[in-house]
Amino acid sequence: MGTTGLRTLYYDYGEYRLELESATGVLYRGEKLLFKGFSYEAIRWFISASGNDPKIKDKFRSQLKMRQELTFATKKDKEKWDKKEEKKK
């Protein structure tokens, strides 16, 4: 599923390949470049390309959660998010 180079992480799903290096993410479909930019967005593209496969989502859960927590302006926003997430389970 994922392998590590010197500083780059590689994740494969079917014909898709995600490369993460520091804050940059690159997504390929076969040899075709689909996205290059912030790693958070590349992860979201990769999850979407996987058809929202639960195994893929779980692999990146910590990165996605950390990013979400940074976007909350108030404690109320965080509580709303937590309730929404709890309903999904």
50-70 pLDDT, tens per residue?
A: 999 999 999 998 888 776 655
With beta carbons less than 8 A apart as the criterion, state whether 43 and 25 touch: yes
Question: Residue 56's pLDDT is what?
Answer: 93
Residue with tokens 């909350």: 72
What's the 3-state SS for the chain?
CEEECCCCEEEEECCEEEEEECCEEEEEECCEEEEEEEHHHHHHHHHHHCCCCHHHHHHCHHHHHHHHHHHCCCHHHHHHHHHHHHHHC
The pLDDT tens digits for 10-45 are 999 999 999 999 889 999 999 999 999 999 999 999
Question: Residue 76's pLDDT is what?
Answer: 67
Question: Residue 14's pLDDT is what?
Answer: 95
pTM of the model: 0.68
The band of 84, judged by pLDDT with boundaries at 50, 70 and 90, is: confident
With beta carbons less than 8 A apart as the criterion, state whether 17 and 11 touch: yes
- For the CA atoms of the chain, what is the radius of gyration? 14
